[in-house]
Amino acid sequence: MVSKEPRKIRSMFGAIAHRYDLLNHALSMGIDLYWRWRVARRLRPFLNQHAPALDLCTGTADLALQLSRYSRVVGCDFTHAMLVLGRQKVRGKSLDSRIRFVEGDALSLPFADGIFSAVTIAFGLRNLASYRQGLQEMHRVLRPGGVLAVLEFSQPRIPVLKQAYVLYCKHVVTRLGAWISGDAVAYSYLPASVNEFLTAQALSRLIGECGFGALKSVPLTGGIAVLQLGRKEGKPAQASPQC
């Protein structure tokens, strides 16, 4: 079992922050940017000017930047070095008025109840010490009718793609990641944590148990990643996550 001890996770991301974007885009051949774009497009009908969206585990703010096309965004993460890089990117694009950053823990969010129109978390849930506690916090800070979007790696279902993916993670991700970041531990943690993570079905069930309805699971790139959508009960949002 890989350790999800928060101090270890924070120091791991702190150590690789300077190479995080480069490795993300190189190892995914740029597909990660498309995945985040898809999340923002899906959420577009639910984002509005009245309440901001929360991008949890925002890291270097790539998803926050996509969301900011449609809404004000709060990016929250507990690794200072990741937020510093995120802030630089946001400033470089003159989007300071659209995206604000808060340093905080996903397991105990520093926000009042019911204030966000949407909560997103991309490649972050897998790193939490308790998925349930994290999802319950996301539910708490969402407005009634607000939408949750969880983007995570998954296991492709097509056998050939699955085998190729396993070999790619084992031989390319671990080696290239270690070489470029200088951190072998972090880039062996990545495939190990993906292997241990919940199946798409189990994650969808857990999201439902944490109070979300209208669940939808959208496989991306043959199921290498999955976008899970859910809605907090209450006054309905104007569109359903299916559209």
Instruction: Please give the residue ranges that form the binding site for ligand SAM (CB under 6 A).
Output: 6, 9, 13, 24, 57-59, 62-63, 77-79, 82, 105-107, 122-124, 127-128
Number of other residues whose CB lies within 10 A of the CB of residue 132: 13
Cβ 12 to ligand SAM shortest distance, Å: 8
User: Considering beta carbons, is residue 9 or 207 the nearer one to ligand SAM?
Assistant: 9
User: Considering beta carbons, is residue 84 or 239 the nearer one to ligand SAM?
Assistant: 84
Identify the sign of the CA torsion 202, 228, 12, 195.
positive
Minimal CB distance residue for ligand SAM: 59
User: Considering beta carbons, is residue 76 or 200 the nearer one to ligand SAM?
Assistant: 76
Instruction: Count the residues in the chain.
Output: 243
Measured CA to CA, the distance from residue 205 to residue 200 in angstroms comes to: 9
Q: Residue 126, exposed/middle/buried by CB under 10 A (0-12, 13-18, 19+)?
A: buried
CA torsion angle for 21, 23, 80, 141 (degrees, to 10)? 70
Best CA proximity match to 240, nearest among 222, 205, 215: 215
Cβ 20 to ligand SAM shortest distance, Å: 7
Cβ 235 to ligand SAM shortest distance, Å: 29
Cβ 55 to ligand SAM shortest distance, Å: 7
With a CB cutoff of 8 Å and minimum separation 6, the contacts of 112 are: 141
Cβ 233 to ligand SAM shortest distance, Å: 25
Q: Which amino acid is at 173?
A: V
Cβ 187 to ligand SAM shortest distance, Å: 12
Would strands 212-220 and 142-153 be described as parallel, antiparallel, or unpaired?
unpaired
Q: Is 229 helix (H, G, I), strand (E, B) or coil?
A: strand
User: Considering beta carbons, is residue 153 or 212 the nearer one to ligand SAM?
Assistant: 153
User: Considering beta carbons, is residue 187 or 212 the nearer one to ligand SAM?
Assistant: 187
User: Considering beta carbons, is residue 29 or 160 the nearer one to ligand SAM?
Assistant: 29
Measured CA to CA, the distance from residue 157 to residue 59 in angstroms comes to: 28
